[in-house]
Amino acid sequence: MSRMKMKLQEKIPAYRDRISTLVKEHGQEVIDQVKVFQLYGGMRGLKCLSTDISYLDPDEGIRFRGYTIPECLQKLPKPAGAEMPYVEGHVYLLLTGDMPTEEDVKDVAQDFSERSKVPDYIYKVLADMPKDTHPMSMFSAAIVSMQRESLFVKQYEQGMSKMEYWQPMYEDAMNLMAKLPEIAAQIYRMKYRNNVIIPPKPELDFGANFAHMMGVDHPYDELSRLYFMLHSDHESGNVSAHITHLVGSALSDAYYAFSAGMNGLAGPLHGLANQEVLRWIQRVMEKMDNKVPSKESLTEFVWETLNSGQVIPGYGHAVLRKTDPRYAAQRDFALKHMPDDEMFKLVSMLYEVVPPILVEQGKAKNPWPNVDAHSGVLQWHYGVKEYDFYTVMFGVGRAIGVLSNLIWDRAVGQALERPKSLTTEMLEKAVGIK
Ligand SMILES: CC(C)(COP(=O)(O)OP(=O)(O)OC[C@H]1O[C@@H](n2cnc3c(N)ncnc32)[C@H](O)[C@@H]1OP(=O)(O)O)[C@@H](O)C(=O)NCCC(=O)NCCS
């Protein structure tokens, strides 16, 4: 058994006791109240989910297992001479809650490389899809096509105690995570590089192997490690995390649950915003004959977008009320590696121009940039210019958080999710409308 699975096995009993005491002794205490607007307003802010893997503070941003992004970047083990930590260490941290040692990280890396072989039939499924299929549909289809590999399903069919559910869920989740970099990179190469596939190098770490299979040189390996880590988790209420949890609550296996989550990530208000940012920036650049616009013309373009009833992609957030630290981490990377990049200059200018305009418009509760405002420009700089692909990479990162949650969901026996709905008439009556 891997060190990480052993660590979980050690931790799960005490955690189960903690949750069961909380529910048994305090199950009737009120944490939050539902307001009418929340029934129509996407349940915004309603405190009705629980996770210990990450927490999103509106002002501070994300903490992974209690650590801020700069703390993770500083404390997680790194490959020799590298700037960015191993993704494998971040997996260990999210899943177990403990900062990994070098040995722990090597163990995860070894485990991933043993699980990483993608079944050949997946490439046949992908090759048979129409050429104009969106890469996110290919990614989701590849994941759900592997559902027949699920060990959870096999063991469930044979009859298994509820206490054991987490174990095959762990195996499925790890098998899936290990295969995603290759699936993603091969989708890219199939679709945008004339189907010239670069075979994996399992001896490389998660991020470096992805960069290698994409066919992009250093420091893209550093960027990949940073990118997957930053996109891993954003507590449990965001669409991709919530769907994965919801579908998993029906005891659907990790393949079904995660592919459903990816279908949610493919929405332009969620993960697809990173491609929309690039599309929008391209439109600005085209309008300006591919020169960085002046502040005045950029201001005009932002207002034009808003006045035509569209959102400024990459700005605003459902929870955050400050600049997203994931944006800041990517900005630091850009300042170090590509300070003179024209598109980066434009993104920096947008950071100055957009927030005051959104404040003046007075609609968005958060005028500051989110993770998606920056990610595409970094990809573009290293030659990954096919922005339809960007959300797939978001999905590879997001797997780490949502699949870790799914393992813990099964470990503590999270119930089938089934909130109650009311009719409009009932609501009108409840508030005194006759
Ligand atoms: C992320 C997002 C979906 C959050 O939605 P939300 O929680 O409903 O946001 P708010 O409460 O601030 O929305 C209030 C109003 O401001 C608008 N608004 C929010 N962000 C905006 C933006 N970036 N540009 C223009 N208008 C925006 C909303 O569309 C809404 O308008 P409405 O009252 O006409 O419906 C929203 O900010 C958005 O659409 N951003 C752009 C897409 C994006 O970057 N998504 C990735 C998020 S990580």
How many Å apart are CA 84 and CA 427, to the nearest integer? 51
Tell me whether residue 234 is one of the annotated catalytic residues: no
388 is catalytic: no
Instruction: Tell me, in angstroms, the distance from the centre of ligand 1 to residue 364's CA.
Output: 6
Q: How far apart are CA 4 and CA 182, in angstroms?
A: 22
- Quote the CA–CA distance of 377 and 394 in Å, as a whole number: 14
Question: Which of 46, 279, 315, 360 for a ligand 1 pocket mutation test, highest count of atoms within 8 Å of Cβ?
Answer: 315
Report the nearest-CA residue for atom 26 of ligand 1.
311
Span from the CA of 78 to the centroid of ligand 1 (angstroms) = 36
Distance (Å) from CA 294 to ligand 1 centroid? 26
323 alpha carbon – ligand 1 mean position (Å): 14
Reading the chain (434 residues) residue by residue, the pLDDT tens digits are 999 999 999 999 999 999 999 999 999 999 999 999 999 999 999 999 999 999 999 999 999 999 999 999 999 999 999 999 999 999 999 999 999 999 999 999 999 999 999 999 999 999 999 999 999 999 999 999 999 999 999 999 999 999 999 999 999 999 999 999 999 999 999 999 999 999 999 999 999 999 999 999 999 999 999 999 999 999 999 999 999 999 999 999 999 999 999 999 999 999 999 999 999 998 888 888 888 899 999 999 999 999 999 999 999 999 999 999 999 999 999 999 999 999 999 999 999 999 999 999 999 999 999 999 999 999 999 999 999 999 999 999 999 999 999 999 999 999 999 999 999 999 999 999 98
Distance 312 CA to ligand 1 centre (A): 8
> Which residue has its alpha carbon closest to ligand 1 atom 45?
269
CB atoms within 10 A of CB 105: 26
pLDDT at position 287, please?
Answer: 86
The one catalytic residue among 234, 270, 374, 381: 270
pTM summary value: 0.96
Return the ligand 1 atom nearest residue 310 CA.
Answer: 25
Residue of the CA atom closest to atom 13 of ligand 1: 364
Q: Please report the domains of the chain, with CATH numbers, ordered by start residue.
A: 273-381 (1.10.230.10)
Task: Please tell me the distance from the alpha carbon of residue 293 to that of residue 301, in angstroms, as a whole number.
Answer: 10
The type of residue at 301 is: F
Residue nearest atom 19 of ligand 1, based on CA coordinates: 364
What is residue 181's predicted lDDT score, i.e. its pLDDT? Answer: 98
pLDDT for res 207: 98
The alpha carbon of 317 and the centre of ligand 1 are apart by a number of angstroms equal to 6
Angle at CA of residue 222, ends 220 and 223, nearest 5°: 60
Q: Measured between alpha carbons, how far is 374 from 284 in angstroms, rounded to an integer? A: 16
Within 6 Å (CB) of ligand 1, which residues are found? 44, 269-270, 273, 306, 311-318, 363-366, 370-372
Residue bearing tokens 């909380």: 22
Concatenating the DSSP letter of every residue in 227-296 gives: HHHHTS---S-SHHHHHHHHHHTTT--HHHHHHHHHHHHTSTTTTTHHHHHHHHHHHHHHHTTTSPPPHH
Centroid of ligand 1 to alpha carbon of 394 (angstroms) = 20
- Ligand 1, atom 46, lies closest to the CA of 270
222/207 Cα distance (integer angstroms): 7
Active-site residue flag, 26: no
pLDDT at 292: 86
Handedness of CA 378, 382, 385, 389 (dihedral sign): negative
Looking at ligand 1, which residue's alpha carbon is closest to its atom 44?
314
Q: Whose CA is nearest to atom 17 of ligand 1?
A: 364
From 270, 317, 319, 394, mutation site for ligand 1 pocket: most ligand atoms within 8 A of C-beta: 317
Q: Which of 231, 234, 242, 317 is catalytic?
A: 317
